[in-house]
Structure 1
Amino acid sequence: MIRGVLDRFYEACGYIAAAFMVGIGLAIVTQIVGRMRGVTVDATEAAGLCLAASTFFGLAHTFRRGGHVRINLIVDRLPQRWRHGVEIFNCLLGTVVVSFLAWHVASLALQSREFNDVSPGLLAMPFWIPQTGVAIGIAALAIAFIDELIWLLAGGKPRYEAPDEVELDRPVA
């Protein structure tokens, strides 16, 4: 039950990231069309906000799919009996760091809302709006790390290691 919910959540994060990428394209096309018609449209700030949201919403989806760059210089040289412990340690460390970041970015968004901070550009958008997207994206990555840590503790092979070769539905005994 929870596996299906989490998989749909990661998939939704990927679709939201894609929607914000479309937003970047629309902002750029709007700016181009405006210039062709002699109208100045400052869509750079909107494109930047879409970029931030797209980047952070895409992190959990990419992590779950094994799309993040992973360097195995040390892990590949370890004896097989140590690898699983090192993977658990790495995932635990990632969980702590990303959770810490998620907490503080969410706190920043709340402070920006409380103090009514707005962007300095022509758009003058309240900062808490893009910061909330970033906070949700990082929190989603923290959830993905916790999910993976539980998977590893249950004896599963790292799902982020080789997405084409690892079964994603059940732990390896």
Structure 2
Amino acid sequence: MKILGRALELYYRFTAFVCCVILAVVTLVLIWEILSRFFFGQSLRFVAPLVGYSLFVITFLSAAWVLRRSGHISVDIVVDALRGRWQLGLRMVLDLVAAALTGFLAYLTAVYAFTAWQQGTTTPYPFQVPRGLLLSVMPIGLGFLALEFVIQFSRKAGRFRTETGTGASSEEPAI
């Protein structure tokens, strides 16, 4: 299990690095676009699709890494109203539901990307990118996101089994 944890951490670091490089390149290209418009009155045709593709790739490649670091925005009104094991139990259920949904979406997007790859479709922008290649980041990112939800569930399940005292299972939820 430690090997899997190390491999995942290596994957997360790699994708974080790739996303940072992409973001740096996009930032430089946008500065170049602004200067080009200001000084030469011309826009660069490839900037809008490049930025769009880049944000698309960054979103999917970084999702699991952000979840690992609890960086996603969440609305916890109901969860925060609970205490102890009730709160932990609800978080575990939410992790399982999220893992199932993202796993299912990973499957659907893999089928979609594979179909696009087989059909040989490309994007309609100034530079054509094979759609299957571009879409392949969706099942990869969603698959790792589903895996991270399972890992988080597993960690919470360990805490749930060992938690005693104030969070006893006979405790009524604090609403």
TM-score relative to the length of structure 2: 0.79
Contact 1:24 1:51 in 2 (8 A): no
Partners in 2 of 1:121 and 1:128 — Cα distance?
15
Please list the CA deviations of residues 95-148 of structure 1 after superposition, one character each: whole Å capped at 9, or x if unmatched.
011111111112111111101111112112211222112332222211211211
Partners in 1 of 2:65 and 2:103 — Cα distance?
16
| 1:140-151 paired onto structure 2 within 5 Å | 140-151=144-155
CA RMSD of superposed structures (Å): 2.4
Partners in 2 of 1:19 and 1:31 — Cα distance?
18
Counterpart of 1:25 in structure 2 is 27
Partners in 1 of 2:14 and 2:106 — Cα distance?
19
Q: Which is helix-richer, 1 or 2?
A: 2
Q: Larger radius of gyration, structure 1 or 2?
A: 2
Identity %: 21
TM-score relative to the length of structure 1: 0.80
Partners in 1 of 2:147 and 2:136 — Cα distance?
16
Is residue 105 of structure 2 the alignment partner of residue 62 of structure 1?
Answer: no
Counterpart of 2:107 in structure 1 is 103
Partners in 2 of 1:107 and 1:52 — Cα distance?
18
Deviation at 1:13, TM superposition (A): 2.1
Amino acid at match of 1:107: V
Question: Structure 2: any 5+ residue segments left out of the alignment?
Answer: 165-175
Contact 1:95 1:142 in 2 (8 A): yes
Partners in 1 of 2:66 and 2:111 — Cα distance?
25
Partners in 1 of 2:107 and 2:147 — Cα distance?
12
Counterpart of 1:4 in structure 2 is 6
Match among 133, 137, 145 for residue 137 of structure 2: 133
Please list the CA deviations of residues 127-171 of structure 1 after superposition, one character each: whole Å capped at 9, or x if unmatched.
1222112332222211211211222222269xxxxxxxxxxxxx9
Question: Structure 1: any 5+ residue segments left out of the alignment?
Answer: 158-170
